[in-house]
């Protein structure tokens, strides 16, 4: 596609519910990143994929967070047993590699109530 | 680990005037990239300008230019002829230059909210 597409745009979850956030990167982009952006803060790195391989998951805040990219294109970020502190915007970005910078999606705003 | 500091949480400027947003960073690396991203209310991060640390010449992109001071680890953004559409959050970000793996990870500052007044 022409850009990075994320869905849903908004998600309200009850505490303890599981959620799945989808990212559809630009076709052919090898690198895919997930970031978490709390209100009033800059984005913080969660995890990185190169094709289907998850090369870095050091930013995932707990074992309730899980990401996958099984076929090297679409990626899903799953949060189990959501907590209020998980409320944030989750941004996905893709890149063809190198230092050109990424293309970001518009994010999913998750609100845990 | 790299850190990026934006010391101005909010700034405002009159339309058509010039404004400068500050950014400092800390790294032990010698080769890296620096970026300014704009985030309007739509939430999408939009790349404004990019600087390669090994290039001494400051990057420019139309009304946007940077003042890159490598020794001081400073990377400020100047917006000339400000327009109402420039109103947004602006984030400074750092990336290591070496290819591969999570060297492509971006480290962001906390952002500066810029308001352009008519």
Q: Which residues of chain B have pLDDT under 70?
A: 98-103
Per-residue burial over B54-79, b if 16 or more Cβ lie within 10 Å, else e, is: eeeeebeeeebbbebeeeebebbbbb
Residues in chain A closer than 8 A to B45 (CB atoms): 43, 91, 93, 102, 104
Q: Could you give the 3-state DSSP secondary structure of residue A86?
A: helix
Question: How is residue B58 annotated by DSSP?
Answer: P
Query: pLDDT per residue over A78-88, tens digit each?
Result: 999 999 999 99
Give the nearest partner residue to A55 out of B52, B101, B108, using CB atoms.
Answer: B101
Under 8 Å between Cβ of B29 and B2: yes
Mutation for A interface: B54, B105, B107, B112, most A CBs within 10 A: B105
Query: pLDDT per residue over A30-55, tens digit each?
Result: 999 999 999 989 999 999 999 999 99
Q: How many Cα atoms are found within 13 Å in the side-chain-facing hemisphere of B74?
A: 10
Contact between A105 and B44 using a beta-carbon 8 Å cutoff: yes
């Amino acid at each position: 596609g022409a850009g990075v597409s994320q869905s849903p745009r908004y998600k309200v979850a009850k505490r303890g519910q599981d959620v799945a956030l989808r990212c559809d990167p630009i076709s052919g982009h090898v690198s895919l990143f997930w970031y978490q952006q709390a209100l009033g803060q800059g984005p913080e790195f969660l995890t990185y994929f190169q094709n289907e391989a998850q090369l870095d998951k050091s930013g995932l805040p707990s074992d309730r967070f899980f990401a996958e990219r099984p076929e090297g294109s679409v990626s899903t970020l799953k949060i189990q047993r959501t907590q209020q502190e998980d409320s944030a915007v989750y941004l996905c970005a893709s890149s063809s590699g190198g230092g050109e910078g990424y293309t970001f999606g518009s994010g999913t705003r998750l609100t845990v109530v | 680990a790299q850190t990026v500091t934006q010391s101005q949480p909010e700034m405002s400027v009159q339309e058509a005037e010039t404004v400068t947003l500050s950014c400092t960073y800390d790294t032990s690396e010698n080769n890296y990239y620096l970026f300014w991203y704009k985030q309007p209310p739509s939430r999408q991060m939009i790349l404004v300008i990019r600087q390669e640390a090994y290039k001494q010449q400051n990057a420019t992109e139309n009304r946007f230019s940077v003042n890159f001071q490598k020794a001081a680890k400073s990377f400020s953004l100047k917006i000339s002829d400000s327009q109402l559409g420039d109103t947004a959050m602006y984030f400074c970000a750092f990336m290591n230059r070496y290819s591969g793996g999570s060297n492509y990870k971006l480290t962001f500052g906390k952002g500066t909210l810029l308001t352009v007044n008519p």
